[in-house]
Amino acid sequence: MGLTNAGRDFIAKSIINEAGVTPYNEANAYIGVGSGGTAFNVSQTDLVGASKTRKIVDNAPVRTNNEIEFITTFGTTEAQHDWLEWGVFNNTTGGEMINRKVENLGSKTGGTWVLTVTLSVNIG
């Protein structure tokens, strides 16, 4: 899973508490899923598929040491398309996509799907 330029810049802005930074919290953290299989590029600012859905996290993201966990439940009628990519955002539209992962999770045609994303912050 790649950190985007926007994600890198968000981390830098957050360290100095720069004005205008929207946190990835229970009110502003979204997981997005999309149908795009285009390779990851650090300059991407959104999912690339024609079909994409963002949904707010179920609860506040949880940090344990260097990992942050985001969980979103997509209901029966939500995000019914191929899930070939996903990312974490701080707004329902626009905002900053901190990461993007190209990964075939299947084609959702019904049922409830839960996506858990664990972001690891590592050194070196």
Percent of the chain with pLDDT over 90: 86
> Is 98 in contact with 57 (CB distance < 8 Å)?
no
pLDDT tens-place string over residues 42-79: 999 999 999 999 999 999 999 999 999 999 999 999 99
Closest listed residue to residue 91, CA positions, set 121, 46, 37: 46
Average pLDDT over residues 17-30: 93
Please identify which residue in the block is written with the tokens 């991407």.
Answer: 44
Please identify which residue in the block is written with the tokens 């979103």.
Answer: 72
CA distance 81 to 52: 8
